[in-house]
């Protein structure tokens, strides 16, 4: 897609906060792209829409020989530069300043005091709370730079070039704990980089529809629907652009939430008519999962079977050239491997990634410039039912990974009913939207209980509820005692196969959100 808007390039040196920088810039209605430092080249630096560059933080020390270096082309390019933490140290190093290793890593809140007049700090209080996270610091500024703030332990917390528009911050303006961080970023964007043409979702929608029409012309496109936000918005957007050349396939693998399959069918049938195809494949999946206990094997079987079923159905539609995917921007920001850090795969995610290679289809990803919350807003602009848009994320392998160990139809049925009671309670009590994701897990154990005068020997379920920004890290959500009491009572009284309810208070890390 060609943008006529102004752009900021965020160069990533491996900071845990890089996505957050991009996020804040987008909150300020400015278009930005993130690229890893080793992908910097003449082409991306000479882009006419480029108005400024941000150098991210990173886990390395510029004093380390193997650490990522600042490419001279970035400075030579001439647009304003803001180096954050490691980014500032790179700038300082290049211009001949001195970096020192701190005795102690400075991590957490700090107060800075600004000095003199800096456009970056315009309309910012002289004393300011900021968020620090660094080992090294600037011991001696380069000659061509001035110091614009000091932290309360006398560390140089910001510098700027005397003539050129090059700035450095030792702290992280992108983190909420830096109270005026957003204002500082806003000064960089609008006062220094002079961003004028902003990124607005309304314009995105009309531009995207035009460019999809232009790119896809009269070709047929298939889209895999899951009932989740991303694939729903992808399909509605494509439908606006190419109408009846869009074909949507919904594979019901039998491990969805209670009634979900019918709900998805009724919404999409109305919208897409004959071009909506539902495949009821639950018996195939359940058969293939028989006696399988190991989580990774379960995931692989579900992924492979999904591809087989989808492919078979897609082949029935003649002349298809494209496969639409609901990829979002955070999915394609390449993460920098942390030097010496773990590279092991934690879970193999289920998606339709294997399809295009097998079916030799071209890919269309209309949401790939957007963040999740922007996709939700776009969905509202496309008049999609808010209940659909505000749904908690639901994993591709569905309830199969919420039933540790072997699964069967009976267990799925029990879990569907428990999950439904739990989620309905959260919705009714207006807790649902405060939580990133909530679900129940059916444990592979039975325990003894007593109901009335009778001994019971039934399943235990565990409730999970987490808050998160992006699912990468998460905190468990703490219900009140009376809420937990109500949920537990409801589940045990309405689902006779369950006699014990547990609450999972593990954050991520060390736990993952799903159990498998
Ligand atoms: P974990 O369990 O890795 O989950 O902490 C992080 C987020 O990803 C979702 N998830 C998946 N989503 N296919 C998906 O589309 C998958 O295979 C899958 N596995 C986990 C999970 O629900 C959470 O939101």
pLDDT in tens, 223-246: 999 989 999 999 999 999 999 999
Q: Is 32 a catalytic residue?
A: no
What is the reported pLDDT for 343? 37
Q: How far is CA 15 from CA 88, 205, 386, in A?
A: 13, 31, 34
Mean pLDDT for the stretch of residues 71-88: 96
Res 190 pLDDT > 70: yes
Q: Which residue has the higher pLDDT, 350 or 70?
A: 70
Which atom of ligand 1 lies nearest, measured to the CA of 436? 24
Q: Residue 3, SS3?
A: coil
Sequence-ordered list of residues with C-beta below 8 angstroms from that of 398, at least 6 positions apart, any chain: 253, 255, 256
pLDDT in tens, 266-305: 999 999 999 999 999 999 999 999 999 999 999 999 999 9
Residue having the nearest C-alpha atom to atom 18 of ligand 1: 395
Residue to substitute in 393, 473, 504 for testing ligand 1 pocket (most ligand atoms within 8 angstroms of CB): 393
Measured in angstroms, how far is the CA atom of residue 7 from the centroid of ligand 1? 31
Residue 444 in 3-state DSSP? strand
Cβ contact 123:89 at 8 Å? no
- In the structure, which protein residues have their CB atom closer than 6 angstroms to any atom of ligand 1? 347, 349-351, 393, 395-397, 437, 471, 508, 512-514
CA 496 to chain centre: 38
The reply to whether 174 belongs to the active site is yes
How far is Cα 225 from Cα 248, in angstroms, rounded to an integer? 6
Separation of 434 CA from ligand 1 center, angstroms? Answer: 19
Q: Model's pTM, two decimal places?
A: 0.81
Helix (H) or strand (E) holding 220: strand 220-225
Q: Which residues pair with 465 in a beta bridge?
A: 438
Residue 348 C-alpha to ligand 1 middle, in angstroms? 9
Atom of ligand 1 nearest to the CA of 474: 5
Pairing of strands 7-12, 220-225: unpaired
Residue owning the nearest CA to atom 6 of ligand 1: 471
Total H helices, total E strands in the chain: 16, 18
Model confidence over 115-160: pLDDT tens digits? Answer: 999 999 999 999 999 999 888 999 999 999 999 999 998 899 999 9
pLDDT tens readout for residues 396-440: 999 999 999 999 999 999 999 999 999 999 999 999 999 999 999
């Amino acid at each position: 897609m060609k943008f006529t808007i102004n752009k900021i390039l965020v160069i990533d040196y491996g900071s845990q906060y890089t996505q957050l920088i991009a996020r804040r810039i987008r909150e300020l209605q400015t278009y930005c792209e993130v690229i890893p430092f080793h992908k910097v080249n003449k082409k991306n630096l000479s882009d006419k829409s480029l108005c400024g560059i941000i150098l991210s933080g990173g886990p390395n020390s510029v004093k380390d020989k193997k650490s990522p270096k600042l490419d001279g082309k970035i400075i030579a390019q001439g647009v304003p530069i803001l180096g954050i933490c490691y980014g500032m140290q790179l700038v300082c190093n290049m211009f001949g300043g001195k970096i020192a290793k701190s005795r102690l890593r400075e991590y957490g809140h700090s107060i800075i005091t600004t000095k003199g007049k800096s456009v970056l700090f315009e309309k910012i209080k002289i004393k300011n709370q900021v968020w620090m996270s660094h080992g090294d610091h600037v011991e001696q500024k380069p000659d061509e730079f001035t110091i614009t703030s000091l932290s309360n332990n006398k560390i140089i917390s910001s510098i700027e070039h005397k003539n050129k528009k090059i700035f450095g911050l030792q702290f992280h303006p992108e983190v909420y704990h830096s109270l005026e961080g957003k204002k500082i970023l806003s000064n960089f964007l609008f006062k220094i980089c002079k961003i004028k043409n902003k990124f607005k979702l309304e314009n995105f929608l009309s531009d995207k529809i035009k460019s999809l029409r232009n790119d896809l012309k009269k070709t047929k496109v298939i889209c895999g629907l899951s009932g989740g936000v991303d694939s729903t918005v992808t399909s509605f957007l494509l439908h606006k652009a190419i109408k009846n050349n869009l074909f949507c396939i919904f594979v019901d693998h039998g491990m969805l939430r209670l009634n979900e399959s019918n709900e998805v069918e009724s919404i999409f049938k109305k919208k897409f008519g004959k071009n909506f195809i539902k495949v009821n494949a639950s018996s195939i999946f359940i058969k293939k999962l028989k006696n399988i206990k190991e989580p990774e094997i379960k995931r692989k079987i579900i992924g492979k079977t999904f591809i087989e079923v989808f492919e078979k159905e897609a082949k029935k539609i003649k002349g298809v050239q494209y496969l639409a995917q609901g990829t979002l921007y955070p999915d394609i920001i390449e993460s920098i491997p942390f030097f010496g850090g773990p590279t092991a795969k934690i879970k193999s995610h289920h998606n339709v990634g294997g399809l295009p290679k097998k079916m030799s289809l071209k890919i269309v990803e209309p949401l790939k410039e957007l963040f999740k919350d922007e996709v939700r807003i776009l969905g509202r602009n496309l008049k999609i039912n808010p209940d659909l848009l505000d749904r908690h994320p639901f994993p591709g392998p569905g309830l199969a990974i919420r039933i540790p160990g072997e699964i069967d139809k009976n267990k799925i049925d029990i879990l569907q009913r428990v999950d439904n009671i739990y989620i309905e309670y959260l919705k009714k009590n207006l807790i649902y939207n405060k939580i990133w994701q909530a679900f129940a897990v059916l444990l592979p154990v039975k325990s003894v209980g007593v109901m009335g005068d009778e001994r019971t020997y039934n399943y235990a379920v565990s409730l999970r509820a987490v808050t998160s920004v992006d699912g990468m890290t998460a905190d468990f959500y703490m219900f009140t005692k009376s809420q937990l009491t109500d949920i537990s009572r409801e589940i045990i009284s309405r689902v006779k196969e369950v006699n014990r309810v547990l609450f999972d208070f593990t954050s991520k890390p060390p736990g993952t959100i799903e159990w498998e």
